[in-house]
Amino acid sequence: MQILSSPFYGVSGSFESIATTTVAAGGTGTITFSAIPSTYTHLQIRAFGQTNRGSVSYDGAQMRINGDTASNYSAHNLTGTGSAASSSSSLTTYMQLPWVGFGTTTGSNWGGSIIDILDYANTSKFKTIRALGGADGNGSGYVTLTSGNWRSTSAITSITFVPDGGTTWSQYTQFALYGIKG
């Protein structure tokens, strides 16, 4: 059996940084990765965030792919609330992702997420997303594993994130896109 090696194993191995967005002062409503190259096999997004959803302590993200705003998304969550394990679902016009933001004040608590999309450019498959995320607030918090699906066989060329409850991502929020060669 021939063992295939990545031709890109040089300086960066099979895991390479594609693009990074860090929110500047004033915040921003939408974070976008566009013109995503099809030269990788998988994608990973690492997010560290906060939104302006001030009245509620935690927030999530709405993820859309290729600008699709139709009801082509589903998502299910396994969540720890600090007191119970729970599970929920969402079938709507975006993929609802775990808690990536918290509060409004710099220096307060921030959420983190790792979002994996395998075979993102494969035109024989719908796109399945796996996301692990959480935010802790010293007396409150959530940790969540989310499954998501975009019902399209199109290759992914763009991804957007908007806050689920708030309207803007806070300054210093960062979303980083990585490509993994397969």
Partner 1 sequence: MAVTHKLIQTITVGSGGSASIDFTSIPQTYTDLLVLYSARSARAAVGDDVYIRFNGLSTNLSSRTLYGTGSATASYSDASVAYIGYAVGDTSTASVFSNGNPNYVGSTNKSVSGDVVSENNATGATQQFAAGLWSSTAAITQLTIYCLNGNFKQYSSASLYGIKNS
Partner 2 sequence: MPATYEPIATTTLGSTQNQVDFNTISSAYTDLVLVFNGGVTSTADIWLRMNSDTGSNYSRTRLTGDGSTAASTRNSAASSIFVSVGTVGTNANMIIHVFNYANATTYKTTLTRFNSSAYTAASTGIWRSTSAITSLTLKAEAADTFTSGSTFTLYGIKAA
Judged by beta carbon, residue 20 or residue 87, the one nearer partner 1 is 87
Q: Give dist(CA 175, CA 161) in Å, integer.
A: 9
Q: Give dist(CA 46, CA 43) in Å, integer.
A: 10
Which single residue is written with the structure tokens 């719908």? 126
Task: Rule CB under 8 A: say whether 116 interacts with partner 2.
Answer: no
Out of partner 2, partner 1, none, which partner does residue 83 contact, by CB within 5 to 8 A per kind?
A: partner 2
In 3D, which of 105, 84, 72, 94 has the Cα closest to residue 162? 94
Q: What is the DSSP string of 30-48?
A: -EEE-S--SS-SEEEEEEE
Judged by beta carbon, residue 48 or residue 126, the one nearer partner 1 is 126
Judged by beta carbon, residue 16 or residue 68, the one nearer partner 2 is 16
Q: How many binding residues for partner 1 (CB under 8 A)?
A: 48
Task: Rule CB under 8 A: say whether 110 interacts with partner 2.
Answer: yes
Q: Give dist(CA 39, CA 142) in Å, integer.
A: 35
Q: Which residues bind partner 2 (CB under 8 A)?
A: 11-13, 15-20, 46, 48, 50, 78-85, 106-114, 132-143, 145, 172, 174, 176, 178
